[in-house]
Amino acid sequence: MQDDISDKKPSSSNIRVVVADASLMLRRAMARMVRKTSDIALLATTETTEETMDAVRRLFPHVLVMDLAGEGLDGLSVLRQLKAEQLRCAVVLFSAPTMTGAESTIRGMELGASDFVAKPVSGSFAVTLSVIEHELLPRLRALGNSTRGLTRQPLPSFPPPSAASAVEGIVRKARLSAPPRAPSQWESSFPTGVVVIASSTGGPDALMRLLPAIPADFPTPILVAQHMPPLFTATLATRLNQVTALRVLEALDGEPLLGGAVYVAPGDRHMIVGRDRLMLRVRLNSDPPVHSCRPAADVLFSSAAEIFGAGVLGIVLTGMGVDGTSGARAIREKGGRILVQTFESCLVNGMPKSVHDAGLANEQLSLSEIAARMRTHF
């Protein structure tokens, strides 16, 4: 049943939200939390695909919060219809923290979803309220304030995820868990430079555009700190590996850094560059979050600066907050370079703007320009 429930008259300054979810508890928790805000108006809650599309067409929300799967609700179908009808609202997915949920979420982001929040494992009302307050409301504000000027281009036509993608990820991890070859066999591939990338809200979309433009013989490793929870980073890495000539994988602790490989930091682990005699390796740790983020770009950027010095190319893509700013400063102090994504091409420009406003960006470029600069930098 569709409910038009706003108890405040939306003003031009309000962020207009529709919630589509089969869970009555979640809809009630969302309504309770929004009533405490002055800048967000919950226009309606819906339970089915048809109700959701009707609400978007009638009410013109800035943000749609949507479960991907429920009785009568097919979130991927909604995303396809939004795209086909060119209905320009940001979409935040409520995603189950399972392998199936992660795969559906990455597919949803390929179809145009802006971000996601992992559903709490506990089904209690208090935990749901906490997730909404600390995880969802900041995304609604960031996306709602950027939706009016949204200028995203259509996604390229990637092939659909294969049914074997989860198996491919397991096989890849087993292969990479094998004992490494002796250092002498790797010395000719010892990298003298590195690319480190920071991304958050809108990052999977940006990475899907950026990395396919990089050739397989790219000479340096690429390390990515994407703000995502566990399972979702593994699925993202698997999907990126399918659409780019580069070798993309979720990083494992201790594996060597090689040119032409992309290492995605696992959810809830910091990733740093470590030195082991003549080899450089990925190192993972569970140190405290930085800016409430783990993995944090600041941690990755700072470690890369210590090891590679002027050989670091740091890239800050779309995202909320300030993660990457202090790490960019460490890179600049060692003689490395920093590129930030143009504000108008970001889904949320918080992270690039923070670096730019601190005077740390060497260049502000579109994604295609960043790819071109990567190809010629080393």
Residues serving a catalytic function are 200, 227, 323
- CB-based contact 90:112 (threshold 8 Å): no
According to DSSP, the residues that pair with 262 across neighbouring strands are 222, 248
What is the number of alpha carbons within 13 Å of residue 197 lying toward its C-beta?
A: 26
Whose tokens are 């300030």? That residue is 322
Backbone φ and ψ of 272, nearest 5°: -135, 165
Measured from the Cβ of residue 195, the count of other Cβ atoms closer than 10 Å reads 23
- Report the chain's C-alpha Rg in angstroms: 21
Number of other CB atoms surrounding residue 134 within 10 Å: 11
User: Please, are residues 370 and 207 in contact by the beta-carbon 8 Å criterion?
Assistant: no
Euclidean distance between CA atoms 36 and 207, whole angstroms:
36
Please, are residues 198 and 227 in contact by the beta-carbon 8 Å criterion? Answer: no
